[in-house]
Structure formats: C-alpha cells, structure tokens
Amino acid sequence: MKLDYTLPDEAAAQTGCQTLIDEPMKKHTTFQIGGPADRLYTAGNQRQLSGLLSALREGEIPFFLLGNGSDLLVADEGFRGAAVALSGEFGKAELLPGNRLRSGAGVPLARLCALAREQGLSGLEFAWGIPGSVGGAVYMNAGAYGGEMKDVVYRVLHMTPQGAVEEAEGEALSFSYRKSRYTGTGEIVLFAQVQLTPGSGAEISSKMEELMRRRKEKQPYDMPSAGSVFKRPQGGFAAALIEECGLKGASLGGAQVSPKHAGFIVNTGGASCSDVLGLIERIRETVLREKGIELECEVRVIR
C-alpha cells in the first residue's frame, strides 16, 4: 500500500521542519548500512515535533526517532515510513544550578561529557566514547565501565504519544539493564537533566582518557558497527561465549564478528543488512546449541 505523505509534508512545511525524500539511511547510521526512508524530517523545537508527530499519526505513517544512529540496523530495502531527527533546541546543553546539566535529546553524548569536564563536574566519565545521543542513551540506559545513565539522570522531559509534554524523575524513570520507561512505550525523550558532583578537571580528564584508551585497545573503534550486538546474558558475557564457540572473526558477506572483540559485528565494506542479520542468527543458534544460552540482540532493526 502506497503511503500518503500529504499531511506530514504540509505540517513540516508550515512549521519549518526540514524534509528529505528517499534519504539513504546508511548516511545516518554508524553501521553505514540501510536503504532509503521515504522521508527524513528534522524538528528543531517542541512545536515542530508535536505538529509533525500529530500529522504522521493522523496519516497513519509509520515512523521512528533517529538519534546518532549508533544502535540501528536498517533494512537494505529501506523503510516505508518516516525517520524523525531532532535539532535546534534539542541539540543544546547548558549548566544549571546545583551541579546539574540540562541536555536536549539530540546532543551527542560525547558533547555532554565534554561539557561536564569543562565545568569540573564528575559522574559522566563512563559515557565518554559511547557513540550515541543523550536521548538514545536515556532510552536504553546506556552504560559502560561500571556506570549507567541511571546513575546520573535526575529528571527527563518527554512527549507522550498524544503530544502532551510531561516530566518524570526518580523511580518513575524505571531504569533497568538497557531499559527505561521509554523503551518501546512511544514516549519521546525531549530533554534530560543529569546530576553530577564537583571534581578536579585534571582527574576527570585523566579518567576519560584512560577509558578511551581501553576502548580503542579492546574494541573495533575504527570500523563501522552498532556497538555491542548482544545484551549481557545472566552470569556471563556475550563476547566470551561467542569466542568460546569459535566464532571470533567469522564472517558473512561484508559482515564480520570483530577479530578484536567478539561482541561486535563490523562492516568490513559493503555489508548488507541481510549479511548482519544472517551472522547474528548464526551466532545465536551456535551459542544456544553449544552453551545452552539464548543471546538477546540489543541492536534495533528497522524494516
């Protein structure tokens, strides 16, 4: 069925949202994989976003929120629907009283970490090098090296599926391992406040540099990927299980289990979505057969 984009195109034009037609998603994902989305709309403020989402829903157009594209795998055929990106006020971060930072959902997590360092605020060092936006990091409770977003996120401003703007904080954020209240609910993160603590700028920088050194040493930082492919299974690590099954370095088409870190699948050049999905399935089947453990994929597949 052919989708009618009259309503969202008109809403985008009236409110000043940027509209791109048949935009290749491989240009917007860290995997560098993916065919064209029918539309890529970019909203710069709450009024634009609310009007656009209302029109998309009224027109019954499927859509997804596009951050830095660091956890996305988009189908080779593309997406019959709209990708919605955030810019403008959603791309700004500022210092608040009480050692807090307020960030738009579209701010790269690395930029928020850098702002914390500049202000001599500690608590976000673990996130230095996580490739994603603040909105995406809150959505999935991103974490590394013993820290998670739940440790620092104080309050979140979000938009409900009905277009209302609400706040949530504390237990209402429902953070757990790689999940939050926003995971799969249709609520959209607009802004997040993080609560940090004063620290030594030199010590903060030193810790960030050390964690980045460890990342580059152990992870395929120089290859297109979507980060860690599988969630950590109960009582173990996905990368260790994959390596024990002899799959480190295994490949399918242009997709390869990284020889550097078995928890990553990398695009060695020209990998298709089908290559990656086929390799994921081979890994899951092998680990289940040989180890009796079912790995859960944490990469979002858009098709």
Reduce the secondary structure of 17-85 to three states and give it as a string. CEEEEEEEHHHCCCCCCCCEEEEEEEECCHHHHHHHHHHHHHCCCCEEEECCCCCEEECCCCEEEEEEE
Tell me the average pLDDT across 38-51: 97
Neighbours of 200 (CB within 10 A): 11
Indicate if the pLDDT at residue 1 is higher than 80: no
- Position 131 scores a pLDDT of 87
Residue 2's pLDDT band (cuts 50, 70, 90)? confident
Catalytic residues: 178, 228, 298
What's the whole-number average pLDDT of the chain? 95
- Position 241 scores a pLDDT of 97
In order of their start, the domains of the chain are 7-86 (3.30.43.10), 91-203 (3.30.465.10), 221-302 (3.90.78.10)
Tell me the average pLDDT across 121-145: 94
Nearest C-alpha neighbor of 170 from the set 195, 134, 188, 135: 195
Report the alpha-carbon distance of residue 280 to residue 133 in Å, rounded.
25
Residue 235's pLDDT band (cuts 50, 70, 90)? confident
Tokens of 244: 């024990």
- Position 30 scores a pLDDT of 96
How is 118-155 classified by DSSP, letter by letter? HTTEES-GGGTT--SBHHHHHHTT-EETTEEGGGTEEE
- The proportion of the chain whose per-residue pLDDT surpasses 70, expressed as a percent, equals 100
- Position 168 scores a pLDDT of 97
- Position 162 scores a pLDDT of 85
Q: Is 200 helix (H, G, I), strand (E, B) or coil?
A: coil
- Position 243 scores a pLDDT of 96
Tell me the average pLDDT across 190-215: 95
Report the alpha-carbon distance of residue 171 to residue 15 in Å, rounded.
35
Side by side, the strands of the sheet bearing 36-43 are 18-24, 36-43, 79-86, 63-66
Tell me the average pLDDT across 107-113: 96
Asked whether the whole model's pTM tops 0.85, one would answer yes
pLDDT in tens, 88-101: 999 999 999 999 99
Most confidently modeled of 29-33, 68-72, 231-235? 29-33
Residue 117's pLDDT band (cuts 50, 70, 90)? very high
Indicate if the pLDDT at residue 236 is higher than 90: no
pLDDT in tens, 157-182: 999 988 899 999 999 999 999 999 99
Q: What residue has token string 């019954």?
A: 60
Neighbours of 225 (CB within 10 A): 27
pLDDT in tens, 269-278: 999 999 999 9
Report the alpha-carbon distance of residue 106 to residue 279 in Å, rounded.
31
Residue 221's pLDDT band (cuts 50, 70, 90)? confident
Tell me the average pLDDT across 48-68: 95
